[in-house]
Structure 1
Amino acid sequence: MKIVIDARLLDKINNTGISRYIEFLLEYYSGKYPMQDIYIISNDRRFHYNECNVIYTGLKPYNILHFFLFYFKIAKLKLTLYHAPFYSGLAFRSKTKVVVTVHDLMYRIVPNFFSKNLIVNKLKIAYFDCIVRLSLQSADEIVSVSQTTSNDVFNFLKRNSFTIPENSEINVTSDDRILKKFNLTKKNFFLYCGNSRPHKNLNILYKVFETKKDLPLLVMAGKGHRAGINLLNVGTVSDHELKSLYESAIAFVFPSFYEGFGLPVLESFYSRTIVVASKIPAFLEFKSDNIIFFDPDNIEELYIALKDAQGRKFIDNDFMDKFNNKNLIAKYDELLAKV
C-alpha cells in the first residue's frame, strides 16, 4: 500500500493556514497507516517527517507545464491513494484513488482577483480554471472545508463534495514580549491578522479607526498594512506572538468580502476572544454567541459592532466540539471508507 500526501505548499516558516492543514493530514495518515506506507511529496530536499518516505520534486503545483509533468511522475509510482491538500492534483484519471481538498474558489468569485486589467484577469482565471477543473474532474472524492466552498464547487463543476471543516488551534505558548515591544495592554486593542489583498476589505477598517476617535487602537499583523492614526502595524509575527495578540485583544476584526472558510475565527475562539466579522456566507456558518456580524459595506454597522464588542465577554460553550480533532478524524475515516 502506498498513501501519498502532497506537501509541496507546506511552509514551516510562515506557517500558513494551508500549512497547518497539511500538517493535520500528515498526523492523520501517519496515525492510521504504518509509516512505511506513507509517502510525502515535497520540493524541499531538507524535508523529513518521522519515518515516512519523501518523494522530492521540483514541480510546482500552479505551473501548468509542471502540472501535466506531475501527473506522469505520479502515474509511475503505482499509488493506492493520493491526497492533494489544495486544488492542483492530477491532470487525468488514473488507477490511483485521488482525494482533492478545496479551501475556496476565491480566484473565480472575487472581482479583479488577479489584476485590475480585465483581460489579464480573465486570462489568469482561464489558466487556473484549466488546472482546477482537471484536478477536480480526476478526483474520486472532493473535500470542501465549508458549506460555502461546497456550494462554490458545485456551481463551478456540478460535483458534490464532502464537507469537512478545518481545525486551526495555535498549539504554542503565547509570547507576551510583543505586548511590551509595542506598549500594548491586554484587552485594550482590536486585532486584524492576514494579508492586505482587496477582498480583505481593509479600507473599511482604516476608515472606522481613523475617524471614530472613541475606538481603541487597531493592531494589524501581517504584510502590507499601513500605520496611521489609531492604527499600529506590527508586521509579520511568530505563532507565539500571534497567540499572545489573540488572547490579549478585545476582539478579532474580520471584514472580508469573501472567504472560503475563516481560520482566524477558530483561532480567536480557541484564544477565548470574540470576533467581529462581515456578514458573508462562510462566516455565517459560525453559529456562535461569540461572533458579532456587520455589513461589510457599512462603516456605521462596523462601528456599532466594535462598540458592542467592548462590552462583551467570551461565552464558553460546546460550539468548538465540531472542530476538534476527534470529530475531524471521524469524518476523514468516513471519507476514506467511501474511497
Structure 2
Amino acid sequence: MSKEVEVMLPYKQSDNLHLLDIMPNILPITNIPQKRSFIEQILNKATKSKKDINENFNISINSIQKRNFDLFHPTYYDDYFLEYIQKKPYVVTVHDMIYELYPELFNISDKIYKTKHNIVKNATAVIAVSQNTKKDIIELYGISDKKIHVVYHGNSIETNRENNDIQKNNYGSYFLYVGNRYSYKNFYFLVSSIANTLKEKNIKLICSNNKFTPKEIEYFKFLNIEHLVLNIEANDSTLAKLYKNAIALLFPSLIEGFGMPLIEAFSMGCPVICSDIPVFHEVANNAAIYFNPKSAKSINEVVNIILTDKQLRSDLIQKSYQREKLFSWNKTSKKTVDVYKSML
C-alpha cells in the first residue's frame, strides 16, 4: 500500500452480509415487517458460534485498548471501538446512503441507522466512494464537505482482453446483468421491459450472481422467457469472459453508491447501457448510453439502438477502454494513504 503505512488487520472480523440478503426480494418497494432487530438477524445468519464471536470481540477490544496505532479505520458501522480508542483519530468509508434515501425498505428503528450516523458524524475523516455519495452524506447528515474525501474504487478484473479463452462464447447472443437483485436494483422492471425483445430476437439475459429464487423463476415463466434467462455464478475469470462476449451490460438501478460493474465492463470492452442517474454519469460519463429506469419504452429504445447501431457500439467500446484507465486500486490506495496523512 505504502512504505509509510503499516496496516494491522483484522481487529474485528465480520462477514460482508448485506442487509437485504436477509430480506425478501420484492418489487415494488414496500414496507417489510421485521420481528427481530437487524443485529439479531445478523447473529442468526452468522456461521460462527456465539462463543467464537465473543472471543473474537474480546481480542479486538484488548488490541484496541493498547492503542499501538496512529489511526483506526473500521470497515463496518459498528461503534464498539469508540469508547476504547479515546482521542485516536479514525476514518470511516461510506459506500452509499441507500438505507437513508429508501427508508421504506427498512425498519427505521434498527440501531444501525443511529450507529452509522454517530460514527460518520464523529469521524476525523470520511471517505466517500463517489461525489454523489459525498453529496448525499452532506445533505442527509449535515456534515462539512471539508472532512469528506472522495476515493473511487478500482477494477478487480484484470484478465488479458486478448486471451483466446475469453474470446470463446457458448451462450449465443446475450445481454449481461451483474450483481444482486435487490428491489432498488430494478431487476424485475428490467426483465418485464425487455421480455418481448428477448423473445422476438432470441436473445438471452445472463445474470451473474446468486441463484434465482423460486419467485424469480415463476416470474420468468409468467413472461414466457424462462428459457432465455440464465444464471451463472462466476469467478473473475468467467465474469471477464461474460463481459467480453456480451452485447452489452444492462444496469437498471434506481440508486447506487458507485457501480462497480461499470468499470468491470469498461475493462473488458463491454458496452454499457445504464440508468440515467447522477452517480452513473459521474463514473461512466460519455462511455455509456442512458435510459429512464422507470420507463419500459426508454429501456427498449436504448436496447434496440445497441442492437442495430454497430458504429455506436464500436464507439462505446473505445470510450470504455479510455474511461477504465481512470479507476485502479493503486489510485485508490494512494488516495486513501493521502487521507490517512491528512489526519495525523
TM-score bracket, normalised by the shorter chain, equals 0.7 to 0.9
Is 1:103–2:74 an aligned residue pair? no
- Measure, in 2, the Cα distance between the counterparts of 1:84 and 1:98: 8
TM-superposed CA distance for 1:287, in Å, is 4.5
Point out the structure with the larger helix share: 2
Matches for 1:15-164 after TM superposition, within 5 Å: 28=1, 31-33=2-4, 37-41=6-10, 72-73=61-62, 75-78=64-67, 79-88=69-78, 90-92=81-83, 94-114=86-106, 121-124=107-110, 127-159=111-143, 160=145, 161-164=148-151
Q: Given the two structures, how large is their TM-score scaled by the length of structure 1? A: 0.72
Secondary structure of 2:112's partner?
A: helix
TM-superposed CA distance for 1:234, in Å, is 2.0
Matches for 1:280-319 after TM superposition, within 5 Å: 280-310=277-307, 311=309, 312-313=313-314, 314-316=317-319, 318-319=322-323
CA contact (8 A) 1:192 1:221 kept: yes
Secondary structure of 2:99's partner?
A: helix
CA contact (8 A) 1:86 1:102 kept: no
TM-superposed CA distance for 1:168, in Å, is 2.1
* Aligned partner of 2:192 among 200, 204, 207: 207
1:94 to 1:224, Cα distance in 2 relative to 1, 3 A? same
- Measure, in 2, the Cα distance between the counterparts of 1:71 and 1:91: 12
Aligned to 2:326: 322
Write out per-residue CA displacement over residues 236-278 of structure 1, whole angstroms, 9 at most, x where no aligned residue. Answer: 2222111110111111100011111100001000111111111
Question: Match for 2:82: what amino acid?
Answer: A
- Measure, in 1, the Cα distance between the counterparts of 2:164 and 2:90: 40
- Measure, in 2, the Cα distance between the counterparts of 1:192 and 1:280: 17
TM-superposed CA distance for 1:132, in Å, is 0.5
Is 1:169–2:172 an aligned residue pair? no
1:221 to 1:38, Cα distance in 2 relative to 1, 3 A? closer
Aligned to 2:208: 221
TM-superposed CA distance for 1:136, in Å, is 1.3
CA contact (8 A) 2:287 2:323 kept: no
Secondary structure of 1:122's partner?
A: coil
1:91 to 1:178, Cα distance in 2 relative to 1, 3 A? farther
1:44 to 1:136, Cα distance in 2 relative to 1, 3 A? closer
TM-superposed CA distance for 1:157, in Å, is 2.1
TM-superposed CA distance for 1:332, in Å, is 2.6
Point out the structure with the larger strand share: 1
Secondary structure of 1:104's partner?
A: coil
Aligned to 1:269: 266
- Measure, in 1, the Cα distance between the counterparts of 2:63 and 2:204: 51
Structure with higher RCO (Cα < 8 A, 6+ apart): 2
Question: Match for 1:300: what amino acid?
Answer: K
Secondary structure of 1:264's partner?
A: helix
Write out per-residue CA displacement over residues 289-331 of structure 1, whole angstroms, 9 at most, x where no aligned residue. Answer: 3211111110010011111222312124633333234543442
Equivalent pairs counted in the alignment come to 281
Write out per-residue CA displacement over residues 56-91 of structure 1, whole angstroms, 9 at most, x where no aligned residue. Answer: xxx99x77x98x979854541312121223444543
- Measure, in 2, the Cα distance between the counterparts of 1:272 and 1:335: 32
Aligned to 1:336: 340
Gaps of 5+ in 2: 15-38, 44-52
CA contact (8 A) 2:91 2:123 kept: yes
Gaps of 5+ in 1: 1-27, 46-58, 115-120
TM-superposed CA distance for 1:135, in Å, is 1.6
Q: Percent identity?
A: 24
Secondary structure of 1:273's partner?
A: coil
- Measure, in 1, the Cα distance between the counterparts of 2:279 and 2:61: 36
